[in-house]
């Protein structure tokens, strides 16, 4: 038997799996038999031999009492002639270094020194010594003699039993692994406002417990101190620094500077901070490691471009439409408009944000007119909604002409649902280029020659149409002084009376109303010089509403008796021109009463204040003295100031005191105006 042989035992037969030898009894070889003799001689010799053997055995017993027989060794260490304690001490001395430090486990500059107990390993020194001492003892005389003889002739090697609990060694390595293992950490990239921040990745570390345990188990069989490196492997992160660096480079490319966009004469700048808000950072898993995809939020870009398109759009013009007894007909087609090509603009922006050119001229494309033959009969224009009417009988030729021009400009106009209609915007410039001629208009508190005199007949007529349709009137101004011809047809079914006129002036007072009917409105306007009637019809979808009014005239004020003289270098010297005739003042309150779907609205107040108006004369500056009086004779045939004309009394009383009327916007003091 080899001197280095060690007997290991394990709780899970681990020793046998590791190849450790297992021996249960000492092996003693029997002496060879001697030759035969004659029977009697043999018997005699045998008797003598037994006697001698007994005596010899007794001698040996006494000689080696308390000591191990010679020629006995334990795990290659001769322990013959030793007491059991001496033998155990010799064994412990032989393995002292291993017992003191069986293993050193290293990793880099770190090391661990597990004890035998940590590794689950124990030595059965006492058991081996007891087996050595009991060899040749306790087997009876013949058995002991035979065993002693065999030991004497061949020697006896007793293995040292070593127990090894592999599970404890594994637990020790697992505990050690927790000290140095680390999980991998992915690289990171994020945007803090317009600044790019990155965090580097960390390579993970895993202890290969099973591989290290295999080395430990193998090395322990030598029963000699050893150094074993801890077996580990690296755990790469799913997202490494290279992937994050590529993402950072793309983000910095996008944020290299603001983006300038031009659409015609309009310029827009998307700041770096705004661009940063459009960046989308996504992590995409893959079998070979994750990657970071940096894209731009297409929906955010499209939304901003849509806002630009709305702001820069040049809408096509609406056509002129005729009611044509209910069979709508386009009399003048609308013109196409221009709008940003949003799809091309988006692609250009996406390309520019990953390139060097940061200034773009975005393209526009033609758009269809808002109303064409294709959708004309889908506008909800199917019935008469209201009528506005006024009288201009006896008007001067210039006034008749301008009223007709205004009506032509209004005729055929379309008003979209929810749209606020502006009289001034739709009439345009009141000048010769637009067909108007000069006539009398109230300018700077006196009547003067101005283009468009009479246009207020048109605004008054349209105001009445909107009034009787129950449309919200968002801006309306009354005239500065009383004009008698606006009384006729003013109160609709209630008859005639002052207070429902509307003056306008280019760049100033306007007439505005909202189309709240839910359908398009068509304006049909005309004037008849023969009858002196101006009329506007509104066609569309009539709401379920009724409109009525109450009318009150009060605060009558007589006309000033003192004339006013105004210097005008255009008046020939020595001439006096009577430009304005005196008239009285008054206040008129008109309450519009609207019932819609059976529910009354709060009364709406339309108040008009006519100021008293003096006789006004214009003279050449040379004909006016320091006291403001004429230096030339005043004509004796000039008419005295006229009192305020009689007016009809209210057809119905105003709302009771407990009802708060809704005053019409800008219905107070009236500014100068055409008309």
As beta bridge partners, residue 439 has 450
CB contact at 8 A, 511 and 423: yes
Residue 206 has which token pair? 């895993």
Q: How would residue 658 be classed by pLDDT, with cut points 50, 70 and 90?
A: very low
pLDDT-above-70 percentage for the chain = 84
**Tens digits of residue pLDDT in 457-506:** 999 999 999 999 999 999 999 998 898 899 999 999 999 999 999 999 88
Instruction: Express each pLDDT in 563-598 by its tens digit.
Output: 999 888 889 998 998 888 888 999 999 999 999 999
| pTM of the shown model | 0.60
Query: Is 23 a residue whose pLDDT tops 60?
Result: no
pLDDT band at 444 (very low <50, low <70, confident <90, very high): low
**Can you count the helices (H) and strands (E) in the chain?**
16, 39
How far, CA to CA in Å, does 132 sit from each of 61, 70, 150?
A: 15, 10, 14
Residue 453: the pLDDT is 82
- SS3 (DSSP) at 203: coil
3-state SS record for 212-266 = HHHHHHHHHCCCCCEEEECCEEEECCCCCHHHHHHHHHHHHHHCCCCEEEEECCE
User: Is the pLDDT at 20 greater than 50, yes or no?
Assistant: no
Segment 223-247, tens digit of pLDDT: 999 999 999 999 999 999 999 999 9
Residues 360-417 have pLDDT tens digits of 999 999 999 999 999 999 999 999 999 999 999 999 999 999 999 999 999 999 999 9
Nearest to 395 by CA among 445, 460, 466, 463: 460
**Contact criterion met (CB below 8 Å) for 159 and 5:** yes
Question: By C-alpha distance, which of 398, 403, 480 is closest to 444?
Answer: 480
Strands 512-514 and 473-475 come out as: antiparallel
Determine the 3-state secondary structure of 641 from DSSP. Answer: coil
Distance CA 79, CA 90 (A): 8
Could you give the angle at which helices 166-180 and 209-220 cross, rounded to 10 degrees?
130
Closest by CA to 6, choosing from 22, 17, 30, 18, is 22
């Amino acid at each position: 038997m080899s001197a280095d042989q060690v007997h290991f035992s394990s709780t899970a037969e681990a020793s046998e799996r590791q190849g450790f030898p297992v021996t249960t009894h000492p092996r003693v070889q029997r002496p060879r038999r001697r030759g035969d003799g004659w029977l009697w001689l043999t018997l005699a010799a045998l008797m003598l031999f037994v006697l001698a053997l007994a005596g010899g055995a007794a001698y040996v017993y006494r000689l080696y009492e308390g000591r191990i027989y010679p020629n006995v060794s334990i795990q290659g260490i001769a322990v013959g002639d030793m007491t059991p304690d001496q033998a155990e001490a010799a064994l412990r001395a032989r393995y002292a270094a291993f017992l003191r430090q069986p293993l050193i486990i290293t990793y880099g500059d770190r090391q661990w020194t597990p004890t035998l107990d940590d590794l689950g390993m124990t030595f059965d020194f006492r058991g081996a010594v007891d087996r050595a001492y009991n060899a040749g003892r306790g087997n009876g005389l013949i058995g002991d003699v035979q065993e002693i003889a065999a030991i004497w002739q061949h020697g006896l090697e007793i293995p040292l039993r070593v127990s090894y609990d592999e599970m404890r060694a594994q637990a020790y390595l697992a505990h050690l692994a927790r000290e140095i293992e680390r999980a991998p950490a992915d690289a990171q990239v994020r945007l803090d406002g317009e600044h790019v921040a990155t965090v580097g990745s960390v390579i993970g570390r895993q202890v290969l417990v099973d591989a290290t345990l295999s080395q430990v188990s193998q090395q322990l069989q030598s029963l000699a101190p050893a150094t074993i490196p801890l077996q580990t492997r690296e755990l790469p992160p799913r997202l490494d620094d290279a992937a994050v660096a590529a993402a950072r480079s793309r983000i910095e490319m996008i944020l290299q500077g603001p983006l300038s966009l031009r659409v015609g004469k309009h310029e827009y700048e998307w700041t770096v901070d705004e661009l940063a808000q459009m960046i989308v950072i996504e992590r995409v898993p893959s079998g070979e490691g994750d990657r970071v995809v940096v894209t731009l939020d297409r929906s955010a870009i499209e939304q901003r471009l849509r806002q630009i398109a709305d702001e820069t759009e040049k809408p096509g013009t609406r056509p002129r439409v005729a009611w044509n007894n209910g069979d709508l007909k386009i009399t003048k087609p609308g013109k196409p408009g221009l709008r940003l090509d949003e799809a091309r603009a988006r692609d250009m922006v996406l390309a520019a944000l990953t390139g060097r050119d940061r200034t773009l001229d975005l393209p526009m494309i033609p758009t269809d007119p808002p109303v064409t033959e294709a959708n004309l009969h889908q506008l909800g224009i199917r019935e008469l909604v209201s009528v506005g009417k006024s009288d201009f009988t006896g008007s001067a030729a210039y006034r008749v002409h301008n009223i007709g021009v205004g009506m032509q400009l209004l005729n055929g106009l379309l008003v979209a649902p929810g749209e606020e209609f502006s009289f001034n915007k739709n009439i345009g410039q009141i000048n010769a280029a637009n067909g108007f001629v000069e006539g009398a208009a109230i300018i700077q508190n006196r009547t003067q020659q101005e283009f468009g005199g009479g246009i207020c007949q048109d605004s008054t007529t349209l105001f009445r149409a909107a009034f009787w349709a129950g449309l919200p009137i968002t801006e309306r101004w009354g005239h500065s002084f009383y004009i008698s011809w606006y009384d006729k047809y003013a109160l609709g079914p209630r008859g005639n009376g002052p207070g429902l006129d509307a003056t306008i002036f280019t760049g100033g007072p306007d007439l505005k109303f909202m189309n709240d009917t839910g359908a398009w409105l068509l304006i049909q306007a005309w004037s008849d010089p023969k009858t002196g009637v101006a009329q506007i019809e509104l066609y569309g979808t009539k709401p379920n509403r009724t409109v009525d009014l109450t009318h009150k005239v009060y605060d009558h004020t007589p006309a000033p008796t003192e004339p006013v003289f105004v210097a005008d270098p255009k008046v020939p010297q020595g001439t006096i021109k009577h430009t304005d005739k005196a008239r009285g003042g008054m206040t008129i309150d008109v309450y519009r009463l609207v019932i819609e779907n059976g529910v009354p609205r709060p009364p709406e107040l339309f108040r008009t204040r006519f100021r008293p108006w003096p006789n006004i004369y214009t003279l050449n500056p040379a004909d006016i003295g320091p006291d403001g009086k004429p230096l030339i004779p005043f004509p004796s045939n000039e008419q005295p100031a006229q009192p305020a004309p009689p007016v009809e009394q209210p057809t119905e009383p105003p709302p009771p005191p407990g009802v708060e009327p809704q005053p019409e916007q800008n219905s107070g003091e009236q500014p100068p105006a055409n008309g």
